[in-house]
Amino acid sequence: MREDPVALEIFKHLFQAVAEEMGETLRRTGFSPNIKERRDYSCAVFDAEGKTIAQAEHMPVHLGSMPRSVEAAVKAFTFAPGDVVVLNDPYRGGTHLPDITVVQGVFWPGEDQPLFYVANRAHHADVGGMSPGSLPLATELYQEGIIIPPVRLMREGKLMEDVLALLLRNVRTPEERRGDLLAQLAANAVGARRLLKYVEEEGREKVLFYAKALQDYAERMTRALIRELPDGRYHFEDYLDGDGRGREDVAIRLTLTIQGDEAILDFRESDPQVEGSINAVRAITESASFYAFRAAIPEPIPSNEGGFRPLTILTRPGTILDALPPAAVSAGNVETSQRTVDVVLGALSQALPERIPAAGQGTMNNITFGGKDRQGVPFAYYETLGGGAGAGPGWNGTSAVHVHMSNTLNTPIEALERGLPLRIETYAIRRGSGGKGKYRGGDGVIRRYRFLVPVQVAVISERRRRGPYGLQGGSPGEPGKVIRVGKDDGREELPGKWQGHLEAGEGLEIHTPGGGGWGQG
């Protein structure tokens, strides 16, 4: 079959629409605010080999890592019609334990080989572990929650109630988890139906042809970007504040080599893995690298496997970007991924100085808390907070937004106060926190929680010791802060990574970083 540019564009949107419709199904049927309000999930379509065809514009941190989970599921099982596999193991394609991935084969009626796979990944507000929300200051994976290798959640269309019971027995909020998992199943079912409808209407040969053509198109576009870069070697490094266990200034080092239309990203000189949970598995490093290159491409290209082909990513097992089990990794997904993007964009800024913006807030400002409400019912909650985006050549940074690897929303105050025993006393833009320059970095936010019952709290955040970098003479953004607020409004500044108990009437105030400035003002 001959590739037609118009048909290619049509199929780009058709496959994208499948993933978007899956996401809408998940949002509307999910139980938790984390899914319904923050939209902390991703949905994607894969070919028969488990390679990405299209992914909705959901969470970039899932962009390059979800294919590894699909690969692990396909390797573990021979899928039959009606089979669904669930997993969250970071060392088998996952990111961190709260991110649960659900994979389903898409079969033409009467056939036993899948035409496609559909999958979605959703962040669950609690999956057990040593603290509510499952993002503790852990030292090994087992402390972070239940570890799910690839297991069948549905077999030949029948829900495996025993497997579901095992999962729910290991979490603090089983009814909410059950509702979110069933919503994930519903999202995959919608995606499978839509793909089969395309095959029925357009024909198998045409649909499969354009699935591959879209992957090739993404490869061509990525190679075109790389060809714009001067051949050479570009070095950049940046640092994580620390691991929360006494280790500070953990380095991520990159040597980026451009050779024609290929790029080699060599992270092997990055620091060794640490005791705390900021270790990242290799899938996270791949995801952050791919995202940074895709963000630098001015054209809207599909998010699929083709974009990976021109990139060679080198890591060293046992380092902060390629951790070995049983290292704790919950913060690697949310924080180390952000710094990896900062490093890749920093290297690209040397080759594309008039295109790459300054660093955004560089953290997801993770906060988890839980306990029992005033009726004695257990609750657990997790959210991330936006901050300042970096300024760029020709624009000021946006304020109070999630940047780079976090594409979620800030949870509305009304949703929080309706569902949880707390009040939000302050929610405001942190004026003046963006870096100065010809173009100013965006400002962060201030959010203060006042708890009405005793809670166990964990905060995992970055950019508390040094602000996001500016570029081309711009100033860095202001670092963030974590402040404990007493019953009498006394204030105590806390480390960026902290866990502990707060009594009823105590509060927590988060100041998120501003983005870096661009250009000399």
pLDDT score of 214 = 96
Length of the chain: 521
SS (H, E, C) 222-258: HHHHHHHCCCEEEEEEEEEEECCCCCEEEEEEEEEEE
pLDDT score of 398 = 97
End-to-end Cα spacing for the chain: 55
Spatial separation of the C-alpha atoms in residues 394 and 233, rounded to whole Å: 27
Q: Which of 240, 313, 253, 312 is nearest to 279 (CA)?
A: 240
pLDDT score of 408 = 80
Strand partners, 104: 84, 118
* Per-residue pLDDT tens listing for the chain (521 residues): 899 999 999 999 999 999 999 999 999 999 998 898 888 899 999 999 999 999 987 677 776 789 999 999 999 999 999 999 999 999 998 899 999 999 999 999 999 999 999 999 999 999 999 999 999 999 999 999 999 999 999 999 999 999 999 999 999 999 999 999 999 999 999 999 999 999 999 999 999 999 999 999 999 999 998 998 999 999 999 999 999 999 999 999 999 999 999 999 999 999 999 999 999 999 999 999 999 998 888 877 888 999 999 999 999 999 999 999 999 999 999 999 999 999 999 999 999 999 999 999 999 999 999 999 999 999 999 999 999 999 999 999 999 999 998 878 778 899 899 989 999 999 999 999 999 999 999 999 999 999 999 999 999 999 999 999 999 999 999 999 999 999 999 999 999 999 999 999 999 999 999 999 999 98
Please check whether residue 359 is in contact with residue 516, taking contact to mean a CB–CB distance below 8 angstroms. Answer: yes
Spatial separation of the C-alpha atoms in residues 299 and 286, rounded to whole Å: 21
Q: What is the DSSP letter of 332?
A: I
Radius of gyration of the chain (CA): 22
pLDDT score of 296 = 86
Name the one residue in this structure whose structure tokens are 């290991």. Answer: 170
Spatial separation of the C-alpha atoms in residues 194 and 13, rounded to whole Å: 13
DSSP 55-119: E-SS-GGGTTTHHHHHHHHHHH----TT-EEEE--GGGT-SSTTEEEEEEEE--TT-SS-SEEEE
pLDDT score of 10 = 96
pLDDT score of 121 = 95
